[in-house]
A and B are shown apart, each in its own frame.
Chain A
């Protein structure tokens, strides 16, 4: 294993019944920085995280985290890993302070300043009961409980789900604060693409249980390109284009998004005899949506019958 990797998976696979939830996942997460695991709902992100933490037995394959086999994570490994769950569930009968006291007794590296700082950031009253907190407040409390032990590796499972923009911003700032002041690693899954753009150094994309991308964020940004082709009339049917993600057809126009745009791609597009080919800028969010969306051609041209009121 690379000494710089905090997570390494090899052919990690999990089936639920006859359905693979994660299929032959092999990746390495380098030490330091923020690693974002992206994918649509049901693509296998949570399953991957739960397997990495030894909370779900892999069907086959293996993985290690901080050098420990995930099938037998010892307490000292768990002490070095912070884990924020997706639903932010805690004991409803505990108060915010009691949650902190409860958690602090298990973690020898507990930093109460961080705990108080984070709950202060989220404006949480220490006496408030967990069951009376809003989802965003609960997320803040969970984050405080996860950050206060100062873990070496922080694993966050869709931490921003259900948070309002202000809470989301607070969360992202906490993540940035945590990673920038030390060599800690954050591995998080999310749907929030602006957050990814703000904090992620590396990304991995799961598409229908299969890993399709694993690279630095910039590499991904540069790999996805969009071109606009103009035609005098309705464009012809699309030939096979290497790396095609999406093609959207409209009146006299075809917008094509693809990866690894190169000479072969351009030659294939020119075969459609467009009057103009121009590359258009694409935001990271659009690039992700194209990447994660349905592959192939879409059309916005309505047939005559569909157009009639």
Chain B
């Protein structure tokens, strides 16, 4: 096999050299962009731009390499020269893959390694680094392997429809999308492995049968069908979206929401299909424009709305909707730059880490107890949840809100609380052109409003509306010194319940405390009518997949796929795909086991399953049976209708046959 690996390496060395140059140039461009802006506050190894360029490069290079490795020998005689040697086809496949993946690793890995070494050498990059920041790039490098196998499969497969050669790429695309949107790293890695296993098995099967479906081992057939089904899923989905564009769009559903004006009055805005937004008070009377006496214009109403500051506090410790890639890229958050330093909040140490712009080296860290020349200080840490966000002036621990002075590298305490009522969130509040005016601090039991200097304005107790999350909205009313505080369950609770939850509103005046409060009733949920593109795309979606997957946090669908759309998907499978599949299976006289297997497959995977079924099956020709005169399949030794054998070729009287003796 070593000989074959060497041959493959030699054969594809030019492409590898080209890939190496292109990849190196791409990274050099990133390097130049970084060094051109010394105050650029980013870690180049955890930069989304470098991540996407690596993802694109790995996908394209992997696919081209895989395709070329097979294409070089796809001429029938050269393929025969390759195959006809004392090796199993599995060994030939492995030899190619070992060489291909070796080249892929070299082309993708070598420049990246150089870039990492450059970035890690002190004095080059003025930003924190930890190994976890490399996981997103590593994931996309691994995803490129899927494109490599998809490229091989594309050229190897003897496709009935020419365009269906590229269907194998579907698995790679779907895995890439899921990895980039995945909530956690390890499931994403598992997904990459599963995708690679499916595509590699499909390619292996293709090597066993020279690219034909017929003659493949069962595992190869199953992997090929799965790979093509995923590709068909993408095609069908895109076709559904495209087709829906040719039809008129339905009216959006009506929506009602609350709004507060600067004088502290609450109104409801009612929108609906085919009608303009209507502003009414809580009793349902329309708000009239004082000048015209007619219902107020939406723009005029918007000008009357009070400015609000919103803080959402998660209390169940569940991570938000961010993906693992977003989290890994945000391990060190750019905080602020001074004239000669760059500061990052590094969650690993819970401190602000400073870098000198000129030397590009770390100068130390700033924690609640002040500056230290190392990263740990005295072990004092800021609180992650309360630190991230805001205007980067304040930070906090569990019991104190601190004002940070990065020029002097010092902290000063703005607010303190007790350990049994810890700080959950804090935020600076600016008003118009006046700059930072107030600071809102949410503790476990109280909401505090402070001046910018830290003097208390008011404080009010509250009860968390939901265990999951609570949203606080502070409205600054007129005249100054008047406030309204809305406390409502968070958007996540709304999404889980598929309804706007009731909100508690308090009107508060400076030095007077709570003037009055009100519980606003829950708003009616508009009747959900699926849009045409949703209906069409669900019709072509595999029903098993649609039934098994939750809809996530999508507001429109809540946490479950609507029953109507689910039924549509099953209807497509039961009424269209299953009958067509059964008819074709009967026409080509599948065995009972094959018929049952395909029936289950079509039922589970619907339209994409049917398209994959049509893509893989190489339909045998049919001829009239001389015995029963009906069409019989040419790939069966006997007529499947009457059991007659094939007749020998018709005699012409010119045949010359004689026994042959060994020479």
| B653 close to A223 (CB less than 8 A) | no
Q: Mark A1-44, 1 if CB is under 8 A from B, else 0.
A: 00010000001010101111001100011111110000000000
**Does B649 count as interface, using CB distance less than 8 angstroms?**
yes
**Known contacts A23-B649, A53-B84, A89-B81; 5 further A-B pairs (Cβ under 8 A):** A29-B660, A50-B76, A87-B76, A219-B658, A259-B654
Q: Mark B77-107, 1 if CB is under 8 A from A, else 0.
A: 1111101111110000000000000000000
| A33 close to B654 (CB less than 8 A) | no
| A59 close to B634 (CB less than 8 A) | yes
**What does DSSP make chain A's interface, helix, strand, loop or mixed?**
mixed
**Does B37 count as interface, using CB distance less than 8 angstroms?**
no
| B3 close to A102 (CB less than 8 A) | yes
- On chain A, the residues within 8 Å of B84 by CB distance are 53, 55, 78, 81, 83
- On chain A, the residues within 8 Å of B419 by CB distance are none
Interface residues on A, range: 35 or more
Question: Within the complex, what minimum Cβ distance (angstroms) separates A202 from chain B?
Answer: 5
**Does A172 count as interface, using CB distance less than 8 angstroms?**
no
Q: Which of B77, B634, B654 contacts A15 (CB 8 A)?
A: B634
- On chain B, the residues within 8 Å of A93 by CB distance are 10-11
| B660 close to A216 (CB less than 8 A) | yes
| A75 close to B87 (CB less than 8 A) | yes
- On chain B, the residues within 8 Å of A30 by CB distance are 660-663
Cα A20 to Cα B88 with chains together (Å): 30
| B648 close to A291 (CB less than 8 A) | no
Cα A215 to Cα B658 with chains together (Å): 5
Cα A211 to Cα B81 with chains together (Å): 27
Closest chain B residue to A149 by CB distance?
Answer: B86
**Does B250 count as interface, using CB distance less than 8 angstroms?**
no
Cα A90 to Cα B78 with chains together (Å): 6
| B662 close to A33 (CB less than 8 A) | yes
- On chain B, the residues within 8 Å of A24 by CB distance are 646, 648-649
Question: Within the complex, what minimum Cβ distance (angstroms) separates B207 from chain A?
Answer: 12
Q: Which of B10, B653, B663 contacts A32 (CB 8 A)?
A: B663
Cα A33 to Cα B660 with chains together (Å): 11
Cα A61 to Cα B637 with chains together (Å): 7
List residues 84-136 of chain B with CB under 8 A from any CB of chain A: 84-88
**CB within 8 Å for A214 and B660 given contacts A24-B648, A91-B7, A102-B3:** yes
- On chain B, the residues within 8 Å of A291 by CB distance are 654
The 5 A-B residue pairs whose C-beta atoms are closest, nearest first, are: A33-B663, A215-B658, A85-B77, A79-B86, A18-B621
Query: 12 A-B Cβ contacts within 8 A?
Result: A13-B646, A30-B661, A50-B76, A60-B636, A75-B85, A89-B75, A107-B85, A107-B86, A212-B652, A214-B656, A216-B661, A243-B654
| B658 close to A216 (CB less than 8 A) | yes
**Does A253 count as interface, using CB distance less than 8 angstroms?**
no
| B634 close to A87 (CB less than 8 A) | no
| B87 close to A55 (CB less than 8 A) | no
- B interface list, Cβ under 8 A from A: 2-3, 7, 10-11, 75-81, 83-88, 209-210, 212, 214-215, 620-623, 634-637, 646, 648-649, 652-658, 660-663
**Does A86 count as interface, using CB distance less than 8 angstroms?**
yes
**Does A120 count as interface, using CB distance less than 8 angstroms?**
no
**Does A106 count as interface, using CB distance less than 8 angstroms?**
yes
Question: Within the complex, what minimum Cβ distance (angstroms) separates A227 from chain B?
Answer: 16
Cα A109 to Cα B653 with chains together (Å): 46
**Does A242 count as interface, using CB distance less than 8 angstroms?**
yes
Q: Which of A31, A83, A215 contacts B656 (CB 8 A)?
A: A215
Which of B78, B84, B636 has the most chain A CB within a 10 Å cutoff?
B84
- On chain B, the residues within 8 Å of A18 by CB distance are 621-623
**CB within 8 Å for A214 and B657 given contacts A24-B648, A76-B86, A201-B663:** yes
Cα A57 to Cα B545 with chains together (Å): 35
- On chain A, the residues within 8 Å of B649 by CB distance are 23-24, 210-211
Question: Within the complex, what minimum Cβ distance (angstroms) separates B139 from chain A?
Answer: 35
Cα A30 to Cα B663 with chains together (Å): 8
- On chain A, the residues within 8 Å of B622 by CB distance are 18
List residues 191-238 of chain A with CB under 8 A from any CB of chain B: 201-202, 205, 210-216, 219-220, 223-224
List residues 231-281 of chain A with CB under 8 A from any CB of chain B: 242-245, 258-260
**Does A128 count as interface, using CB distance less than 8 angstroms?**
no
Q: Mark A133-171, 1 if CB is under 8 A from B, else 0.
A: 000000000000000000000000000000000000000
> How many A-B contacts if CB must be within 8 Å?
147
Closest chain B residue to A75 by CB distance?
Answer: B86
Cα A180 to Cα B346 with chains together (Å): 83
**Does A88 count as interface, using CB distance less than 8 angstroms?**
yes
Closest chain A residue to B648 by CB distance?
Answer: A24
Cα A106 to Cα B316 with chains together (Å): 64
| B7 close to A102 (CB less than 8 A) | yes
| A15 close to B656 (CB less than 8 A) | no
- On chain B, the residues within 8 Å of A103 by CB distance are 85
- On chain A, the residues within 8 Å of B77 by CB distance are 85-89
| B662 close to A31 (CB less than 8 A) | yes
| A91 close to B11 (CB less than 8 A) | yes
- On chain A, the residues within 8 Å of B214 by CB distance are 57
- On chain B, the residues within 8 Å of A212 by CB distance are 652, 654-656
**Does A125 count as interface, using CB distance less than 8 angstroms?**
no
**Does A301 count as interface, using CB distance less than 8 angstroms?**
no
Cα A91 to Cα B325 with chains together (Å): 44
- On chain B, the residues within 8 Å of A83 by CB distance are 80, 84
**CB within 8 Å for A60 and B634 given contacts A85-B80, A89-B81, A106-B87:** yes
**CB within 8 Å for A11 and B646 given contacts A17-B621, A57-B215, A93-B10:** yes
Cα A76 to Cα B88 with chains together (Å): 10
| B654 close to A245 (CB less than 8 A) | yes
Cα A201 to Cα B79 with chains together (Å): 31
| B635 close to A219 (CB less than 8 A) | no
**Does A105 count as interface, using CB distance less than 8 angstroms?**
yes
Cα A215 to Cα B663 with chains together (Å): 13
Which of A23, A31, A55 has the most chain B CB within a 10 Å cutoff?
A55
| A78 close to B652 (CB less than 8 A) | no
Cα A28 to Cα B10 with chains together (Å): 42
Question: Within the complex, what minimum Cβ distance (angstroms) separates A71 from chain B?
Answer: 8
Q: Which of B86, B623, B660 contacts A28 (CB 8 A)?
A: B660
| A57 close to B660 (CB less than 8 A) | no
- On chain A, the residues within 8 Å of B634 by CB distance are 13, 15, 20, 59-60
**Does A298 count as interface, using CB distance less than 8 angstroms?**
no
| A90 close to B81 (CB less than 8 A) | yes
- On chain B, the residues within 8 Å of A34 by CB distance are 663
Cα A75 to Cα B87 with chains together (Å): 5
Question: Within the complex, what minimum Cβ distance (angstroms) separates A94 from chain B?
Answer: 8
Cα A213 to Cα B214 with chains together (Å): 31
**Does A121 count as interface, using CB distance less than 8 angstroms?**
no
Question: Within the complex, what minimum Cβ distance (angstroms) separates B12 from chain A?
Answer: 11
- On chain B, the residues within 8 Å of A76 by CB distance are 86
Question: Within the complex, what minimum Cβ distance (angstroms) separates B173 from chain A?
Answer: 31
Cα A205 to Cα B652 with chains together (Å): 14
Closest chain B residue to A74 by CB distance?
Answer: B88
- On chain B, the residues within 8 Å of A220 by CB distance are 656
| A57 close to B212 (CB less than 8 A) | yes
Cα A19 to Cα B662 with chains together (Å): 34
Closest chain B residue to A105 by CB distance?
Answer: B3
Question: Within the complex, what minimum Cβ distance (angstroms) separates A251 from chain B?
Answer: 27
Question: Within the complex, what minimum Cβ distance (angstroms) separates A97 from chain B?
Answer: 14
